[in-house]
């Protein structure tokens, strides 16, 4: 038995998210599993580091599967990239420890949310940025981001109101970078709740437009109430940038 680890990138625009679903074939996991099964001639249980939502992109999704097939990593890489749709690619294939699990072994993830702050659309990047026409004040957004960093109960920033598991997460850093009209928010943490990054982004955007103050972040965290946080930012601006492991 072998454990194969994949590094995957995809444009999520036309997909219903990462996870396979019974009612649609338009998922990243589903597309990749079918190609692997056709190549290796066996049933594949492909495990991803986490689920990305419909319309969300990835530059560094990690996944793994176990197989008894003898195909080399280079053969797997070449085959899947030949038969996958043009908006999905595997950038690396390698052998992993048999115990390795892409989700359970992850220690850190980084997401990037891209905002186009201009009243003129970015035609060429329109599928990968969220256009905000109203001028944004970056410094209050940075102050608010600083207050959100650290270990907190992020239940107010979770879309799953019925979640029974712990909603405590450590948000190591929120970094704002501005280049011309583009403002990017870089979120790094040990794990993220359902729609957490998009809700954090929507809340920070309200700070940037003056609808909230940075100090509101602590009140929202303490409330543990999703209704107290801002709206969920659209999917197209979000990208899973990288997943880090102990090895």
Q: Which residue of the set 11, 45, 53, 87 is catalytic?
A: 53
**179 is written with which tokens?**
């280049």
Sheet strands (E) in the chain: 2-10, 47-48, 57-67, 88-96, 106-116, 130-131, 150-153, 168-179, 182-189, 238-245
C-alpha pair distances (Å), 168 with each of 25, 155, 192, 217, 246: 34, 8, 9, 16, 21
CB atoms within 10 A of CB 247: 9
Q: Which two tokens stand for residue 16?
A: 């219903």
DSSP 53-108: PTT-EEEEEEEEEEE-----HHHHHHHHHHHS-TTEEEEEEEEE-TT--TTTTEEE
What does the radius of gyration of the chain's CA atoms come to, in whole angstroms?
19
Instruction: List Cβ neighbours of 221 (8 Å cut-off, separation of 6 or more).
Output: 148, 152, 153, 154, 156
Q: For residue 106, what are its two tokens?
A: 């992850």
* 97 has catalytic annotation: no
Catalytic residues: 53
């Amino acid at each position: 038995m072998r454990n194969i680890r994949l590094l995957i990138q995809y444009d999520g625009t036309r997909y219903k998210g990462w996870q396979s679903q019974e009612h649609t074939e338009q998922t990243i996991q589903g597309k990749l599993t079918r190609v692997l099964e056709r190549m290796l001639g066996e049933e594949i249980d492909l495990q991803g580091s986490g689920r990305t939502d419909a319309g969300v992109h990835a530059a560094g999704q990690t996944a793994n599967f176990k197989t008894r097939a003898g195909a080399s990593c280079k053969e797997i890489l070449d085959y899947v990239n030949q038969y996958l749709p043009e908006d999905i690619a595997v950038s690396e294939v390698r052998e992993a420890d048999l115990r390795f699990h892409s989700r359970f072994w992850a220690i850190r993830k980084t997401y990037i949310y891209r905002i186009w702050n201009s009243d003129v659309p970015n035609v060429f990047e329109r599928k990968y940025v969220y256009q905000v026409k109203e001028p944004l004040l970056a410094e209050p957004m940075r102050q608010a981001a600083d207050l959100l960093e650290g270990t907190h109960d992020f239940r107010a920033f979770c879309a799953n109101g019925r979640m029974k598991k712990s909603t405590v997460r450590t948000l190591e850093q929120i970094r704002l970078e501005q280049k011309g009209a583009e403002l990017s928010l870089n979120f790094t943490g040990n794990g993220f709740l359902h729609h957490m990054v998009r809700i954090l982004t929507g809340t920070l955007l309200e700070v940037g437009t003056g609808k909230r103050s940075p100090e509101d972040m602590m009140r929202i965290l303490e409330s543990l109430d999703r209704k107290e946080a801002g709206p969920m930012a659209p999917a197209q601006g979000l990208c899973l940038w990288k997943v880090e492991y102990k090895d």
